[in-house]
Amino acid sequence: MSSSAPPRGLRGRRDECEALDQLLVSTKASQSQVLVLRGEAGVGKSALLDYLVVNATECQTLRAAGVESEMELAFAGLHQLCLPLMGQTDRLPGPQRDALAVAFGLSAGSVPDRFLVGLAVLSLLAEAAEEQPLVCVVDDAQWLDQVSAQTLAFVARRLLAERVALVFAVRASTLGPGDDRLRGLPELVLRGLRDDDARALLESVVPGRLDERVRDRIVAETRGNPLALLELPRGLTVAELAGGFARPDARPLASQIEQSFMRRIEALPTPTQRLLLTAAAEPVGDVSLLRRAAERLDIGADAAAAAKAAGLIEFGTRARFRHPLVRSAAYRAADPGERQDVHRALAEATDPESDPDRRAWHRAQAAFEPDEAVAGELERSADRAQARGGIAAAAAFLKRATELTPDPARRGVRAVVAAQATFEAGAPDAALELLAAAEMCPLDELQRGRLARLRAQIVFARRRGGEAVPLLLDAADQLERFDDGQAREAYLEAIGSAVFAGRLGGRGGLQKVAEAARAAPPGPRPPRLVDALLDGLVARYADGYVKGAPLLKRALRAFRQEAGRNKDDIMRWLWLTWLAAGDMWDDETWHELTTHAVQTARETGALNFLPLALTYRAAVHVHAGEFDAASALIEESNAILKVTGNSHLGYARVLLLVWRGEAKASAALEAGAEWASTWGEGRAIGGRHYLDAVLYNGFGQYQDALASAERACEYDDLGLYGFALLELVEAGAHGNAPEAAAAALRRLEERTTASGTDWALGLLARSRALLSEGQTADLLYREAIQHLQRSRVAVHLARTHLVYGEWLRRENRRVDAREHLRTAYEMLQSFGAKAFAERARRELLATGETVRKRTAGTPDGLTPQEGQIARLARAGLSNSEIAARLFLSPRTVEYHLGKAFAKLAITSRHQLPQALPDQGHDHP
């Protein structure tokens, strides 16, 4: 490939230009490209973006730039980028089209999930690229509003086979690791020019003689930064340049450059300085708005000519500063009073109908004392931002509204609302500051209760242990005098917090919380789902498992019946209902809730909730013996978490490793327990011991399994204790600890009988059989198999065939033993449960039967994502439907499907049923 020569002004950037040339070649060849140009201010990022756009022949180009003062306006950067494509939104699926319209304020509607907006943008770019390769450049991405940055990062991570290039320029050292949404994407770090290029560039802009010592000092101080080389000499006199006077300067480079621009601005006439200030305060670059504001400020037309002649700004279809640092310099050069005057003029010049939010923001910046009218306007802007899904923008509007509220009581109420929005925007520390401010205001008792609840929720979100429990109980106590519904929700949150704290919350902690919650006002009749769940969990912990089971089963039945209708409560309380269903051995509720939760999350694009739903659904697949389906969902969950930047959910992954009998499961369990301890999450410690017991039982290491199961049973963890009892019975029966096994069986009998599900009764019969003899044991094993055959938990059915076969062999009933051991081996081997399958194989060999080891799973070599897409295609979904479900573009789906076809040696979808065996259920 022949590279284009760098144009004038890009001295010393040949390698970077060649990289951009190659990016264009790959994009035109249907290989999506993402690149982050990262470097300090003035190093040449914008110039390289200009080079890319100029050389993007035969491509459509889209441009956007982050603006520091726009960071509080939701979707501002995204709208700027997508505006030229808005005429093509009719090609998008309905939910995506509607989400984009609401986000951009083009229509009213429910708050769209920001990642559904991301999918809409991905689809929009992919559709546009079908006609012509598309090059999108985003300058000053460090100043994008939060939701635009998150959305574009999502799009960047989902591009694969589209003719789309997405290139960002980001100033180095402006974002922390937690704030940099683009971290981890391919990047090109720009350094200063080499000394010879830097000297040549410097000499090209300095008239007359340049002393070599001055030249070398400037090159050294600027570290080859092109903008610094061009701008700093303007502040030096001819004598300084020619005479070798030292240039003392200890300021950071960006400040040096900005100071240089400030000196140039301060040398301009006052009207010109004021015009530049107005343009700096108006980030959109709307020339007509700038003109109207200038008239209000009595700025003459000659001011624009002087600003343009100074080389600091251009006036075309939009006002465009030469460099973002010119904008910041113009704003900083003015005193606060001048800034307020300019913002006031901009507010007066802004149309309140077409752009009420920017008008409100300018009015807020112009205010120098509390003003209820402005605060109210900001509050309405916050409502509009929240309706578009711009929670960070809403939080910023509400915070400023709080500051401008003159009435102390109203200021306190607004501070609480602002804190809620700030917390939801992912800034818990700032939310706590607002709550502290609210506490100094005269709040009524209801508001103080809400404040206390929010503070407790923040504590729970930051450390999922028992610290939040007393705070939630106190909040519930305050709220129950004024708002029964909020009080009962706070009590349920307190129980949930205590459940997670587990053994680290102290013995009797859950019972005390349940007793406190029992004193709460009764819920409405008929009860809401949240009230039914609270009543069930209160009975479970205040009265014990057996007495509490009927109420908890009734609550789970209500959730199951409402799963397809009451989507909000299903999503909000899935984390607790999932644990409660496991506690009741209720595999039907597991199946129903996770099916609807995943479907709802996909339909609404709720990517903050979808990973949790996928994790729980993956666990359902593990218990059903559908390990490949579970693996695909875990991979999808991890991919989404990588995009959203949220913490990874490790439970399903470790559960799958354990049931597969992977050696690395032990290390994963240990790491998870250590992490949980730092968070105060004692339940995870109990989970680690339970899964250790499963792992050791799979390997036939019964003494280790017994020790782990006994540690797991030291605390009654919701949804874990019963499972641990089951492992303890088997380990004790095989590990010569009959007394420990019998004691565990007695506790297990109470729970499984109270549950009454086929899963529970099957496991009870199996556990009894393990400690029985003769015909009694034989009948119990058969009873266990009959119950479990009617359940969805195939791995437990396979294990029952295994222990029954082992018992039959010890009874010298070899023919009968072979039947059940062969069934167990084939089931476990097909699942991929290697350790348990090996146990079955060894037992079969002991009966005299020859058994060959087989590789688990299908020998197709598909990656998890290829397998997932192929299974969905086998189920009849189109590429567009698969794309919407998996948050990909149709072209990327086509790419993965093509690779799957090649590996399966087929040429069409019609051949998928034969080439890709059905594991039992296509996952939702």
Q: Provide mean pLDDT across the span 900-921.
A: 80
Percent share of the chain, pLDDT over 70: 90
**Can you give the pLDDT at residue 599?**
85
Chain CA centroid to CA 110, Å: 20
Across 482-504, average pLDDT = 91
Ranking 289-293, 434-438, 848-852 by mean pLDDT, the lowest is 848-852
The chain-wide mean pLDDT, for the chain, equals 86
Average pLDDT over residues 910-915: 87
Name the amino acid, one letter, at 440.
Answer: M
Tens digit of pLDDT for each residue in 39-74? 988 888 999 999 999 999 999 999 998 877 677 777
Higher-confidence position of 840 and 861: 840
pLDDT given at position 917: 67
What was the pLDDT predicted at 5?
A: 42
Q: Which residue has the higher pLDDT, 785 or 508?
A: 785
Beta bridge partners of residue 315, listed in sequence order: 319
Q: pTM for the full model? A: 0.74
Q: Is the pLDDT of residue 265 over 80?
A: yes
Tell me what pLDDT residue 555 has: 95
pLDDT for 246: 36
* pLDDT for the residue 245: 44
pLDDT by residue (tens digit) across 750-765?
Answer: 999 999 999 999 999 9
Distance CA 448, CA 564 (A): 36
What pLDDT was estimated at residue 840? 95
Poorest-pLDDT segment among 162-166, 175-179, 218-222, 348-352:
175-179
Asked whether residue 565 carries a pLDDT value surpassing 90, the answer given is no
Q: What amino acid occupies position 923? A: H
Q: Is the pLDDT of residue 498 over 60?
A: yes
Residue 527 has pLDDT above 70, yes or no: yes
Report whether pLDDT(749) > 80.
Answer: yes
Max avg pLDDT among 210-224, 461-475, 597-611: 461-475
DSSP conformation class of 194: P
Cα-to-chain-centroid distance, residue 361: 29
Determine the average pLDDT of the residues in 359-376.
Answer: 92
With a CB cutoff of 8 Å and minimum separation 6, the contacts of 522 are: none
- In the chain, what's the furthest Cα-to-Cα distance? 110
Q: How far is CA 700 from CA 704, 731, 838, in A?
A: 9, 9, 10
The answer on pLDDT for 632 being more than 90 is no
At 208, the pLDDT band (50, 70, 90 cuts) reads low
Two tokens, residue 334: 């003015």
Residue 320: which residues within 8 A CB-CB, separation 6 or more? 285, 313, 314
Q: Which residues of 320-340 are buried (b: 16+ CB within 10 A; e: fewer)?
A: bbbbbbbbbbbbebbeeebbb
Sheet holding 164-171, edge to edge: 60-65, 134-139, 164-171, 33-39, 187-189
Residue 864 has pLDDT above 80, yes or no: no
Query: Residue 60 corresponds to which tokens in the numbers above?
Result: 């459509």
Q: Which long-range contacts (CB under 8 A, 24 or more apart) does 759-764 make?
A: 759/585, 759/586, 759/587, 759/787, 759/788, 759/791, 759/792, 759/793, 759/796, 760/584, 760/585, 761/787, 762/786, 762/787, 762/788, 762/791, 762/796, 762/797, 762/800, 763/585, 763/726, 763/788, 763/796
Lowest-confidence region among 171-180, 430-439, 730-739: 171-180
Are the beta carbons of 166 and 130 closer than 8 angstroms?
Answer: no
- Asked whether 332 and 262 are in contact (CB, 8 A), the reply is yes
- Percent over 90 (pLDDT), the chain: 49
What interhelical angle do 574-583 and 721-734 show, nearest 10?
40
Nearest to 376 by CA among 398, 350, 354, 391: 398
- Of residues 45 and 638, which shows the higher confidence score? 45
Q: Residue 756 burial (CB < 10 Å; 0-12/13-18/19+)?
A: middle
pLDDT at 249: 43
Single-letter residue type at 672: G
pLDDT band at 402 (very low <50, low <70, confident <90, very high): very high
Q: Count CB neighbours of 87 within 10 A.
A: 8
The more confident residue out of 461 and 445 is 445
pLDDT at 607: 66
Give 5-45 pLDDT, tens digit per residue: 444 447 888 899 999 999 999 999 989 999 999 998 888 89
| Nearest alpha carbon to residue 673 among 640, 624, 722, 717 | 717
CA distance 659 to 371: 63
- Please name which of 69, 108, 107, 110 lies closest in space to residue 86, comparing C-alpha atoms: 107
Please check the confidence at residue 823 and state whether its pLDDT lies above 70: yes
Q: What is the mean pLDDT of residues 118-127?
A: 91
d(CA 240, CA 237): 5
- Which band of pLDDT confidence, cut at 50, 70 and 90, is reported for residue 211? low
| 461 has pLDDT over 50 | yes
The 10 Å CB-count burial string (b at 16+, else e) for 638-648 is bbbbebbbeee
Nearest to 317 by CA among 293, 295, 289: 289
pLDDT value at position 433?
92
**Strand, helix or coil at 319?**
strand
Q: Calculate mean pLDDT across residues 343-358.
A: 90
CB contact at 8 A, 764 and 744 = no
